[in-house]
Structure 1
């Protein structure tokens, strides 16, 4: 079951105030960016956050799971708890760098 457009919009509505928000569809699911930093992975209407030591205390009671096959274990974030969501985003935002654009390889000479 893929994430619905309504659910990703709900996640962004709940995160309003955390910074400049946008989301991008990737491989049939979504990545939520705050200030151009990829902070939330949304798969099957579930919000995942990387397991970082800085989040251990805040998310000590959170369930864990993998957003997709082969992924490392992530925290599962309850976005209905808006205050916790905003605290988690405030912790993550300074830790995660803005992704650097990838350079395209020049075509091979024949």
Structure 2
């Protein structure tokens, strides 16, 4: 089951105020960017964050799962808890880099 547009918009509502929030459809699912950094992965109406040391303590009780086949295990973020979700994003945003632009292939 793919993520619905209503759900991705709900996710963005829940985290509003943490920076410039935008989302992009990728492979039928969504990546949520905060200040142009890929922070949240939304697959099958579930929100995932990378297992990084900076959030290990806060996410120790969180469920874990695989967002798609072949992916590494991620934490599942309780997006219904807006305050907690914003705290996690505030910890992740400084350590996640802005992706480098892809070089265009010369034909």
Q: Post-superposition, which runs of at least 4 consecutive aligned residues in structure 1 deviate over 6 A?
A: none
CA distance in 2, matches of 1:23, 1:106: 29
Shift of 1:104: 1.4
Q: What pairs with 1:1-110 in structure 2 (closer than 5 Å)?
A: 1-107=1-107
Q: How many residues in Structure 1 have an aligned counterpart in Structure 2?
A: 107
CA distance in 2, matches of 1:5, 1:106: 35
TM-score of the superposed pair, with normalisation by structure 2: 0.98
Shift of 1:98: 0.6
**Larger Rg: 1 or 2?**
1
Q: CA RMSD in A?
A: 0.5
